Structure 1
């Protein structure tokens, strides 16, 4: 068992943690991670299918592999707990991620000559991508959780995630312009330049941020548990287990519609590819505004409404279930249904629950054993990654089975959307149970200066 580590400081009125500018700087790190990932998950996906003529299952399995590798997030979280510098692990992870992105883009040279060689290198590349996202993302969340005041955590989560979306949007626009006309050489150069730029931005953004004291329940330096002891500590904690279940169910529901929404719009509403793409844009705009509502609500009303984070989580999950039930009706009434409004509402409710849950995650991460925030973030990040890895596959398989055995697209889509609604209702029930177990969720937006004495 390790005995070294940074001194931990108890939160007090004079220890305010990260300021708003510091939080924005960490948002730039999140944006840098998103900038690299969007190239591998979107651009390379299209290149493999369209330009290289590969079966769609190939990039689908590769993206699933990078999510599967993120089951190692608890290991990366523990490393950042024990290593003394979360910033170092963030930058190490980003370097691995950038290397994996460049290697993945380089496979476009190999596939035309040898599918086997191209696939072998692509597997290595996507393993690196998964490792990089796990190391950098887990350490970043742990850094935010341990150095942000409780009343700022929900807003901090909103800022960082909105900046990640912003980074994805900017990267898509800029790289889309630079990649035209397409060539494998241009793709590698653009991917390498994006990785280098993202790493530089992250390094500048995180420079000296760890000088801030940690905000924790501990009063002094404490021994750092080993990996197995730290993991057992998380798994023994009923609150942590319930929250892991909540993340798994809610993110499974969140991701199951990823690959079927645009086919739904095309098959039942007769939308063109451009129209269905704009429909997806409406959904993401809803997510963006839902995130903004959570951040603004936590900032403006957190002092008056101590249960605000829990309210947002439950409302967002239940509202997402209702929006999906509405899509079941849309399947039977198509094309006479306000689909765009329905999809916007789904995105809005998704944004509300997702960012509120992240804010609660940051609060719960600091309520465990000394120096255990990274491990907790790792366990919850692994649950999310597993959900995302199987969510798209679950939706696609369920749709194919439904179409095969019912012979009706309308019924098949309604069944899948109904399954998603059920998953969100189960998530709502778990959120209620978690709220009864602990007031930590309720206090996520509640200023420590006015909390009841411990």
Structure 2
């Protein structure tokens, strides 16, 4: 990145956030609407969309390799634009594939596999380079607010797309599904194209000879960095705990408390409102603290411990019965999740430059791959533990107790890992807010 460029102002941060909005718009249509069509309109087993979504997460293990490519080229915007193009193509092919399943199941599934692979690659390429560019162009004090803002804008992409496309898709027909998906993909690509135009500045000089290495040695070099390796492990454990709740909370309220579909959907909305509030909170306190890693570490630790406590409380909710404050518990759980997740993303942006120069893309890719793998495994793990708990205890309520306690254990493990975020081995808790390399200027 050109060192003479001034840090981005709020307008520039919002512009980059629009890329995240565009990315979220394509992803939510692919993972939500197509899922519904396969299961409801085509009456296919729910395992099929589950495997396709898992595939789109699994292929994001390529994030470090994609980040390495942007390191070597010296620019991030071509990877953002290229990634959005691949993502959009995957979204359109996914709709074609699902429509095709209605008349030719096997060819439709084969095309869907290709489509979801493209979606995963596109998300990995665009998302990794976007976060590296954001970290490089945003002043450290503004990174917590920037992290929260772009995440909120991605959620806004989810909401807008599902609200608008939901109206356009009724009544369902295969041509309508393809047309809506193509329209969303095209608009998302154009939005991202406009958002990044000129924001990176002129090309920087080619990376130094030491940085022009093959991917394998570059990855081993980054993995050997204690701070980067430890943070990647933390991201995996914490996001595994975060995503394990997704498929559990609404069925829990319906099964144990006898709530209707509308009531559990409202509870889910309350929880998501808590997540949003937690992210806004981190945007404020993180900015007021100057984006110091020590402050972010404290909020990550507090969020994980609070989520752990809430899950233990939910495990005992069935015994309390109707007197249990379920709505309040869902909100506070969302608040804890939002706070720790936003603080973790802000810390990720601060730590991406700690270590060998010219490896920011590999480092961010490693963090992103850990998150993607955890998200892909978390939902499945939660449902498997729920079924095992039901089998072992002989009751549905016992199954939920089992999965909530297991998830609480994951959050507790994440909290223990959070104690060392940003600290080199042997560094004492009071040895400083920022590790020695954190003051290094970004490329």
Fold similarity call, TM over 0.5: yes
Is the Cα–Cα contact under 8 Å of residues 34 and 164 in structure 1 kept in the other structure?
A: yes
Q: Offset of 1:333 from its aligned partner?
A: 2.6
Structure 2: distance between partners of 1:149 and 1:420: 35
Structure 2: distance between partners of 1:159 and 1:70: 23
Match of 1:402 in 2: 389
Match of 1:319 in 2: 306
Number of residue pairs matched by the alignment: 433
Match of 1:3 in 2: none
Q: Offset of 1:327 from its aligned partner?
A: 1.0
Is the Cα–Cα contact under 8 Å of residues 36 and 195 in structure 1 kept in the other structure?
A: yes
Counterpart check, 1:157 vs 2:144: no
Partner of residue 284 from structure 2, selected from 292, 296, 320: 296
Counterpart check, 1:139 vs 2:139: no
Structure 1: distance between partners of 2:228 and 2:398: 38
Structure 1: distance between partners of 2:220 and 2:106: 41
Partner of residue 422 from structure 1, selected from 404, 409, 415: 409
Structure 1: distance between partners of 2:300 and 2:109: 41
Partner of residue 378 from structure 1, selected from 356, 365, 369: 365
Match of 1:452 in 2: none
Structure 2: distance between partners of 1:347 and 1:213: 42
Deviations 1:217-265 (A, max 9, x none): xx98964332122101111101111101100000000000111111111
Is the Cα–Cα contact under 8 Å of residues 98 and 109 in structure 2 kept in the other structure?
A: no
Partner of residue 39 from structure 1, selected from 24, 29, 32: 29
Deviations 1:412-445 (A, max 9, x none): 101101111111111111111235436999449x
Q: Offset of 1:317 from its aligned partner?
A: 1.0
Q: Which runs of 5+ in 1 are unaligned?
A: 1-5, 450-454
Partner of residue 261 from structure 2, selected from 273, 277, 288: 273
Partner of residue 227 from structure 1, selected from 210, 215, 219: 215
Partner secondary structure for residue 200 of structure 2:
helix
Is the Cα–Cα contact under 8 Å of residues 64 and 363 in structure 2 kept in the other structure?
A: yes
Counterpart check, 1:205 vs 2:195: yes
Is the Cα–Cα contact under 8 Å of residues 331 and 413 in structure 1 kept in the other structure?
A: no
Match of 2:327 in 1: 340
Structure 2: distance between partners of 1:59 and 1:315: 35
Structure 1 runs (4+) greater than 4 angstroms displaced: 219-222, 438-441
Structure 1: distance between partners of 2:10 and 2:368: 24
Partner of residue 336 from structure 2, selected from 340, 349, 353: 349
Deviations 1:69-95 (A, max 9, x none): 101111110011112221111111111
Q: Offset of 1:329 from its aligned partner?
A: 1.4
Q: Offset of 1:448 from its aligned partner?
A: 7.0
Match of 1:287 in 2: 275
Partner secondary structure for residue 302 of structure 1:
coil
Structure 1: distance between partners of 2:420 and 2:293: 17
Match of 1:104 in 2: 94
Structure 1: distance between partners of 2:222 and 2:386: 36
Deviations 1:308-333 (A, max 9, x none): 21111111111111111111111333
RMSD: 2.3
Is the Cα–Cα contact under 8 Å of residues 305 and 415 in structure 2 kept in the other structure?
A: yes
Counterpart check, 1:248 vs 2:236: yes
Structure 2: distance between partners of 1:129 and 1:296: 33
User: Relative to 1, partners in 2 of residues 1:418 and 1:267: Cα closer, same or farther, differing over 3 Å?
Assistant: same
Q: Offset of 1:282 from its aligned partner?
A: 1.0
Partner of residue 116 from structure 2, selected from 126, 134, 148: 126
Is the Cα–Cα contact under 8 Å of residues 67 and 125 in structure 2 kept in the other structure?
A: yes
Output the TM-score relative to the length of structure 1: 0.90
Match of 2:40 in 1: 50
Is the Cα–Cα contact under 8 Å of residues 243 and 379 in structure 2 kept in the other structure?
A: yes
Structure 2: distance between partners of 1:206 and 1:443: 30
Q: Offset of 1:142 from its aligned partner?
A: 1.0
Match of 1:85 in 2: 75
Structure 2: distance between partners of 1:34 and 1:306: 28
Partner secondary structure for residue 316 of structure 2:
helix
Q: Offset of 1:301 from its aligned partner?
A: 3.6
Structure 2: distance between partners of 1:134 and 1:233: 21
Match of 1:331 in 2: 318
Structure 2: distance between partners of 1:130 and 1:331: 39
User: Relative to 1, partners in 2 of residues 1:19 and 1:285: Cα closer, same or farther, differing over 3 Å?
Assistant: same
Is the Cα–Cα contact under 8 Å of residues 142 and 290 in structure 2 kept in the other structure?
A: no
Q: Which runs of 5+ in 2 are unaligned?
A: none
